[in-house]
Chain A
Amino acid sequence: MKVIDLVNALGLEVFSGQAGLEKEIAGGYVSDLLSDVMGFAREGEVWVTLQTHQNVMAVASLKDLAAVILVKGFTPEPDTIEHSNEEHIPLLGTPLSTFEVAGRLYALLQHHKGVLSLES
């Protein structure tokens, strides 16, 4: 599943980083602690968080994450948007809570995996 498929399925707002919308999603990670994400998120995952400052994009870039979803209607700071565009990592938004968006993301990824295994 690509980031753009996730955007369409969950009706996410795309704040920035449009150049990265064709990236493949390897999984998801949920945390508001940057060291937790730094230590344990994996390449290609979508990061769900309520942190909106530009260090989020620094971490996302260092970890080669597929995209970042800001929850509960939070909007990114201007330099976060700038960094997202530079790094080609989509910065997405939703009015949903972390719990809801994580649940939907998990269900989508599981469903997608199931479809893939049926095809093969």
Chain B
Amino acid sequence: MIIEQTYQVRGGDFAHAGDASSKVKKLLKQLDVDPRKIKSIVIALYEAEVNIVAHAWEGIIRILIDRDHIRMVLEDKGPGIADIEQAMVEGYSTASREVREMGFGAGMGLSNIKRNTDQMEITSRVGEGTVLTMVNYF
């Protein structure tokens, strides 16, 4: 069983932030994945989705569900991350004032992702974009 899904995400489009995560959540429920695993996957995916909305210009989410795991690849065109190690520090954020006022940009996103994934990898080019790969086993 291999299921592939692709979702487009637009930078700044907070009205639809979380739509892709919501669809993946429903899909995993239909596939009867352990609810505790779904919870972790949804936390990580939502944070990653919001990161594209809050920081990038546009992005694409590719989901690949295999028998025993899910692979989520989020590729965006955006400013990139100059110092990934620093971005990983809990509490560090480069979010705008508007984004912070909405309750985002607390510098918790990447640590939430790390805490809720089995594998996580970030590669980034400043001025071009970022690729985040997350894998969770069922």
On A, residues with C-beta under 8 Å from B are: 32-36, 38-39, 43, 49, 51, 53-56, 58-59, 61-63, 79
Give the distance in Å from the alpha carbon of A33 to the alpha carbon of B115 in the complex. Answer: 17
Residues of chain B in range 33-49 having any CB-CB distance to chain A below 8 Å: 39, 42-43, 46-47
Q: Is B71 an interface residue (CB 8 A)?
A: no
Residues of chain B in range 64-113 having any CB-CB distance to chain A below 8 Å: 102-104, 106, 108-109, 112
**Contact in complex: A51, B21 (CB < 8 Å):** no
Give the distance in Å from the alpha carbon of A39 to the alpha carbon of B111 in the complex. Answer: 9
Which of B1-9, B12-20, B119-127, B128-136 lies at the interface?
B12-20
Name B108's contact: one of A39, A51, A59 (CB within 8 Å): A39
The answer to whether residues A61 and B46 also contact, given A33-B103, A51-B103 and a CB cut-off of 8 A, is: no
Give the distance in Å from the alpha carbon of A58 to the alpha carbon of B23 in the complex. Answer: 12
Q: Is B62 an interface residue (CB 8 A)?
A: no
User: What are 12 inter-chain pairs, A to B, with CB distance below 8 A?
Assistant: A33-B103, A35-B106, A35-B109, A36-B106, A39-B108, A49-B103, A51-B102, A51-B103, A55-B18, A59-B18, A62-B18, A62-B22
Give the chain B neighbours of A38 by CB distance below 8 A.
Answer: 43, 46-47, 112
Q: Nearest Cβ in chain B — how far from A88, in angstroms?
A: 14
Give the distance in Å from the alpha carbon of A55 to the alpha carbon of B98 in the complex. Answer: 14
Q: Is B25 an interface residue (CB 8 A)?
A: yes
**Contact in complex: B17, A55 (CB < 8 Å):** yes
Give the distance in Å from the alpha carbon of A63 to the alpha carbon of B112 in the complex. Answer: 14
